[in-house]
Amino acid sequence: MGKPNSILKVVLPLLLGVGLVWYSLSQISIPTLIQYFKDADYSWIGLGVAFGVLSHASRAYRWLYMAEPLGFKPKFGNSFMAVYSAYLINFTIPRAGEIARASILTNYEGIPFEKAFGTIVAERVADTIMLLSIVSIAFILEFEFIYDFFAQKFNPTSLILAGTLLIVGALTIFLFIKKSRSKIALKIKAFIVGIIEGALSIFKMKQKWAFIGHTLFIWLMYVLMFYVTTFALSDLHDISLTAVLIAFILASFSIAATNGGIGSFPEAIVIAFMLFDILEEPSRAFGWIMWSTQTLVIIILGGLSLLYLPIYNRRKSSL
């Protein structure tokens, strides 16, 4: 059972990505998409790329604070190249990048694999909290819009009933997990406890405020990367920050759906922008421009990182 499941985890996201690429490109003519690429203002795209690189550099530096309590002082260069290598490898096998990143840190910094991987999982806890915070901010900013949108699609009485059922269902599941001794319940409980412990461990770190500062900076750069790139297309100059936040949230989730967000990323942006009555054609073009430029940077820096890592560490060891 293990091998077929592993194959499905690799093949299904790839097939979904290919299908979404076909669908997306069937909704806009290739000459039109190429024209959008030609007409785009690359000074804004370049600024977005710079924000992206800064966010990943901050991520690499933030990890140094997590290695310190383990008794290690890794080099920033190794951490930076491990981050970009991980992003590149995620394009081949989903979530394999985290394993590769931990392996790189084990090989070149001597950190035990399980400890290196544990710190990366703890990082994901902080990132999940930040993403949920952005979701909450977007919800608060556009509560009336979101409520009106669903009220138009569904009867208000149905919404209240559905909300009540969700709350009752959530409480029932919570009580079941809390009291049950089944394997599934125990796994879920351990996962939730792990997330809470991971979040609380941040406040026990010696450099906790620096870690939190870097976390805020990383996600600020992510949002700015997304926002400033919208100025590259004249059709999106009047876009609201809320529309950008909604698109950013959907695009972030889309990356988990397919390898590196291939196909799913542009379509997630189309769905988000169309909620705000933004035309489908420039929305799709923006999605492809945004995904293509950021992916190109990952391919270049990730590829160079994989090539340079052994050279960098051989040179360091000889000094």
**Per-residue pLDDT for 122 more than 50?**
yes
Domain that holds residue 170: 39-318
40 versus 179: which is more confidently predicted? 40
| Backbone torsions φ then ψ of 154, nearest 5 degrees | -130, 155
**Per-residue pLDDT for 257 more than 50?**
yes
Give the model's confidence band at 1: pLDDT under 50 very low, under 70 low, under 90 confident, else very high: very low
287 with 265: CB under 8 angstroms?
A: yes
Does residue 140 lie in a domain region?
yes
Mean pLDDT of the chain: 83
Q: What is the pLDDT of residue 255?
A: 84
Q: What is the pLDDT of residue 298?
A: 94
Percent of the chain at pLDDT exceeding 70: 82
Q: What is the pLDDT of residue 197?
A: 59
Does residue 304 lie in a domain region?
yes
Does residue 5 lie in a domain region?
no
Does residue 29 lie in a domain region?
no
85 versus 207: which is more confidently predicted? 85
Rounded to 10°, the helix 113-141/183-202 angle is 80
Which residues does 24 contact at the CB level (< 8 Å), separation at least 6?
A: 263, 266, 267, 270, 284, 287, 288
Domain tally, the chain: 1
Q: What is the pLDDT of residue 51?
A: 96
Size of the chain in residues:
319
**Per-residue pLDDT for 145 more than 50?**
yes
The mean pLDDT value for 259-278 works out to 88
Distance of alpha carbon 142 from alpha carbon 105, whole angstroms: 42
pLDDT tens for each residue of 299-313: 999 999 999 999 888
The mean pLDDT value for 200-210 works out to 73
Does residue 75 lie in a domain region?
yes
49 versus 149: which is more confidently predicted? 49
Does residue 3 lie in a domain region?
no
Give the model's confidence band at 98: pLDDT under 50 very low, under 70 low, under 90 confident, else very high: confident
The mean pLDDT value for 78-87 works out to 93
| Backbone torsions φ then ψ of 277, nearest 5 degrees | 60, 30
The mean pLDDT value for 74-100 works out to 87
Does residue 21 lie in a domain region?
no
Q: What is the pLDDT of residue 9?
A: 61
Q: What is the pLDDT of residue 191?
A: 60
Of 252, 248, 217, 255, the residue nearest 230 (C-alpha): 248
The mean pLDDT value for 8-24 works out to 77
The mean pLDDT value for 6-21 works out to 73
273 versus 154: which is more confidently predicted? 273
Q: What is the pLDDT of residue 192?
A: 66
Rg (CA), the chain: 22
Does residue 262 lie in a domain region?
yes
Q: What is the pLDDT of residue 46?
A: 96
